[in-house]
A and B are shown apart, each in its own frame.
Chain A
Amino acid sequence: MDVAVKMQDIVKKFGDFVANDGINLTVKKGEVHAILGENGAGKSTLMNILYGLYHPTSGKIFIDGKETAIGTPQKAIDLGIGMVHQHFMLIPPFTVTENIALGMEDTKGVVLDLKKSREKIVELSKKYGLSVDPDAKIEDISVGMQQRVEIIKVLYRGANTLILDEPTASLTPQEIVELMDIIKSLTKDGKSVILITHKLKEIKACADSCTIIRHGKYIDTVDVKVTSESELAAMMVGRDVSFTVEKEKREPGEVVLEVKNICAKDYRKVDILKSLSLNVRRGEIVGIAGVDGNGQSELVEILTGLKKAESGSVTILGKNAFNVTPRQSFDMGITSIPEDRQKHGLVLDFTVAENLILQNFEKEPFSKSGILNDKNIEVHAKKLIEKFDIRPNDSAKKAAKTLSGGNQQKVIIAREVTNDSDLLIAVNPTRGLDVGAIEFVHRYLVEQRNKDKAVLLVSFELDEIMNLSDRIEVIFDGQITGEVLGEDADEKELGLLMAGGKKDE
């Protein structure tokens, strides 16, 4: 097979930080080539170089055998490279046709000729089985269709090599299956697909070869057919995979959180939680497994007071906690490690010390009759910075935004663990963190459990759920569709449940 894209010894430095350190990549025509690596391994940097958004510090790029300097997205497009970004680049109030034609509009004289563009779109849509409604507005169509629009957008520009950045992150299982079919129809037509992912299953399902990157370094390129998932995982992480967390067996105690028949609608007024019930007891970690978009976020928002449910009941240690405010939720004993630490977890412009008392600033010793006590606030901060090893260790008076992602997460963990409430909710607590920080987070979640607190873990990472949970509840389409004990968990079975299958079948 001919080579479509070859990247050789690519180095990219941001100041002192080396994001890519001598990476090699060879993508053949007509193949699906996966790029596997943990968050922060350097996958996106590499692809942004290929798409002309970044300039490599050193290294060579060959397109169709010719050495090329890319430089701008426009040049990449001209060279037949197209990228579907993880966060879609679509204009919500524009129609599908307008979004695809934008920047390459057909005109009759000075007048736009969207009809002509529309015809081309319909043609592409038929050819590759990408069903879209060319006249619908983006804001009215599903995430799956939005992704197909993005793929057509790339094909419309004559792309031969398509980069798909974490394409399944927000798709339903059904939509993932459809995407796999689309990818196959693309490669059948001689196009190459570069698939950026950290999901092993998807690689096994549709990739031909796979390049593994770890900490910015090139590890290997392997033939997917002859490599097992665990081998891939070992290469990705750099040691034996299952970083099982040490935890002694415990008998769970009284029920802390009891959720019964919760129903809720999302912002589009569509039913998102359909009579969901759940409980968490003292001394156990309950993991909620499921694909993004099945109601997890809404459930957490309801528990933490950010969203109102339509009906149902919530109790904490027997007390009614249905549709409370965030303040009431906190006072009743719910604390949480939010999914988006920069948006919800921290006030980035506040100092670390201020962030550490974000919920407790009105209490003694941090303030008295409305006046803040700076000295006590600082002493508190220094204590936690030392205990939780937040770096730099003189950061009490520094703005939280100056800290690294891992240390920002440590600030949140320090605050929430110190709050020591009866129920700790953690949502994707390790997203975007490196291995060391992940272990840190896991250690404290288990510690809370061992201190006889209840822990509710929501994660899209099945490994994380399986490693930490005493009990796993699978969420699908706004309902709990299955319950598995942590020690009995089986990835296949969970996967089936997450896709809407029934346990007994």
Chain B
Amino acid sequence: MDVLIRNLGLLINAILIATPPLLLAALGSCFSERSGVVNIGIEGMMTIGAFIGACVAYFSGNGWLGFFAGGLSGAVLGVIHAIACIQFGADQTISGTAINFIGPGLAVFLCKAIFDNSSDSPALDTAAKLPKMFEGVFKSGSFGYNVFSTYSVAYLSFILVLVVWFVFYKTKFGMHLRAVGEHPQACATLGVNVYLTRYICVILSGFLAGLGGAFVTLATVSQFRPAVIVGQGFIAIAAVIFGKFKPQGAFKACLLFGLCNGIKALLGAGNAVSPNLVSMIPYVVTILALVFVVGSTRVPAANGKPFLKAR
């Protein structure tokens, strides 16, 4: 029984570390997709956030500052994506592909430029990482320790789901963002500013993806490496699709995918089940969801379609 509880604690701990980056990025993706702008550049935005986060934390010694800076760097890529897609009506998938070249490219470029041609950033001291909660309250290795003495950002990201849900469904801005993702022409005739609303959403998606990336380097890994994000941005997108483009749905999907990552981390090497097969689960599950619940998965009607003002 004790063993069971301890293992459960370990699993929850693994989920609490694996979920926040996916969740932050997925919430960002919700904003962008629901406002009608496809953003497959989430991966690139997370990668730049991961590097800038680690870099700023390394030099300032302040994890929170790094975390925030990571978010801002993602937002900068968000601005680029927004200008291309909203102002110039670029193909959103192609622009996102460009972001996925630029984000990781820039991250490694800057890393090499700053850290003496090394593609990995130096390891961060514990003090420069994001802080954990309730340190010293629980006995190390106990269930309570595993579940509660973890990064406060993990719990903050869960609270953020409620905030995003509130914004989406209970505020004027949320109504506008859902409306411009469905029928921008109708919004324009009613004086709703389609461009501004979409700009805010896409930049916000970059910011949240940047935060997600920064969490990886400031909590999970404690340094930047080129392969530190691999696929997490795409898992976040998968979670949004799986969660039917709703923040609360994306949350559930992220927990599920976080569980996959948690299991993978616990399994380690040399086990009966290959971690590579576990890694496939989020993608396979999303495909299955698309196939079997396609009727109820409603993509925002104007998703991916540029809206250019007529004169």
Could you tell me which A residues sit within 8 Å of B by CB distance? 53-55, 73-74, 77, 83, 85, 89-94, 98-99, 102-105, 107, 110-112, 153
Which residue of chain A has its CB nearest to the CB of B191? A74
Which one, B189, B191, B192, contacts A83 given CB within 8 A? B189
- Rounded to whole angstroms, the CA-CA distance of A357 and B242 in the bound complex is 44
Contact between B170 and A92, CB atoms less than 8 A apart: no
With A93-B298, A111-B170, A112-B170 in contact, do A102 and B182 touch (Cβ < 8 Å)? no
Q: Can you list 16 A-B contacts with CB-CB less than 8 angstroms, sorted by A residue number?
A: A55-B311, A77-B191, A91-B179, A91-B183, A91-B186, A92-B183, A93-B182, A94-B178, A94-B179, A102-B176, A102-B187, A102-B190, A103-B187, A107-B172, A112-B171, A112-B174
Most interface-central of A89, A91, A92, A112 (chain B CB within 10 A): A91
With A92-B182, A98-B175, A112-B171 in contact, do A103 and B298 touch (Cβ < 8 Å)? no
- Rounded to whole angstroms, the CA-CA distance of A481 and B88 in the bound complex is 53
Which one, B174, B175, B189, B191, contacts A89 given CB within 8 A? B189
Other contacts beyond A93-B298, A102-B175, A102-B190: 12, CB < 8 A: A73-B188, A89-B186, A89-B189, A92-B182, A102-B186, A102-B187, A103-B176, A103-B192, A111-B171, A112-B170, A112-B171, A112-B172
Contact between B182 and A105, CB atoms less than 8 A apart: no
Annotate B282-311 by CB proximity to A: 1 below 8 A, 0 otherwise.
000000000000000010010000000011
Contact between B171 and A102, CB atoms less than 8 A apart: no
Q: Which 4 A-B pairs have the closest CB atoms?
A: A103-B190, A89-B186, A74-B191, A91-B183
Kindly state whether residue B185 has any CB partner on chain A within 8 Å. yes
Residues from chain A with Cβ under 8 Å of B175 in the complex:
98, 102, 105, 112
Contact between A90 and B183, CB atoms less than 8 A apart: yes
B244 to chain A, nearest CB (A): 12
Residues from chain A with Cβ under 8 Å of B170 in the complex:
111-112
- Rounded to whole angstroms, the CA-CA distance of A85 and B186 in the bound complex is 10
Residues from chain A with Cβ under 8 Å of B186 in the complex:
89-91, 99, 102
Contact between A103 and B191, CB atoms less than 8 A apart: yes
B294 to chain A, nearest CB (A): 16
Residues from chain B with Cβ under 8 Å of A89 in the complex:
183, 185-186, 189-190
- Rounded to whole angstroms, the CA-CA distance of A153 and B186 in the bound complex is 11
Residues from chain A with Cβ under 8 Å of B311 in the complex:
54-55
Contact between B172 and A73, CB atoms less than 8 A apart: no
Which one, A53, A85, A90, contacts B310 given CB within 8 A? A53
Residues from chain B with Cβ under 8 Å of A74 in the complex:
191
Which one, B171, B182, B185, B189, contacts A110 given CB within 8 A? B171
Residues from chain B with Cβ under 8 Å of A92 in the complex:
182-183, 301
- Rounded to whole angstroms, the CA-CA distance of A323 and B210 in the bound complex is 54
Contact between A73 and B179, CB atoms less than 8 A apart: no
Q: Which of B184-201 contact A (CB under 8 A)?
A: 185-192
B172 to chain A, nearest CB (A): 5
Which residue of chain A has its CB nearest to the CB of B190? A103
- Rounded to whole angstroms, the CA-CA distance of A111 and B172 in the bound complex is 7
- Rounded to whole angstroms, the CA-CA distance of A55 and B311 in the bound complex is 8
Residues from chain B with Cβ under 8 Å of A99 in the complex:
186
- Rounded to whole angstroms, the CA-CA distance of A53 and B175 in the bound complex is 24
Residues from chain A with Cβ under 8 Å of B310 in the complex:
53
Annotate B106-140 by CB proximity to A: 1 below 8 A, 0 otherwise.
00000000000000000000000000000000000
Residues from chain B with Cβ under 8 Å of A105 in the complex:
172, 175
Which residue of chain B has its CB nearest to the CB of A89? B186
Which one, B171, B172, B182, B191, contacts A91 given CB within 8 A? B182
Residues from chain A with Cβ under 8 Å of B298 in the complex:
93
Residues from chain B with Cβ under 8 Å of A77 in the complex:
191
- Rounded to whole angstroms, the CA-CA distance of A471 and B183 in the bound complex is 43
- Rounded to whole angstroms, the CA-CA distance of A73 and B188 in the bound complex is 8
A66 to chain B, nearest CB (A): 21
